Amino acid sequence: MVVVDDSLDPRKVEEKLDDLLFEILLNRNELVSVIAVSEKIFENYRSPLLLNVKEEQYSMREVDGLIIMQRGF
Tens of pLDDT, residue by residue over 21-32, are 999 899 989 888
Say yes or no to pLDDT of 60 above 70: no
43-67 burial, b at 16+ Cβ within 10 Å, e below that, comes to eeeeeeebeebeeeeeeeeeeeebe
10-23 mean pLDDT: 93
Nearest to 54 by CA among 44, 63, 64, 62: 44
Strand partners, 58: 71
Q: Are 35 and 1 in contact (CB under 8 A)?
A: yes
**Res 9: pLDDT:** 96
**C-alpha–C-alpha distance, residues 68 and 59, integer Å:** 8
Say yes or no to pLDDT of 39 above 60: yes
Arithmetic mean of pLDDT over the chain: 84
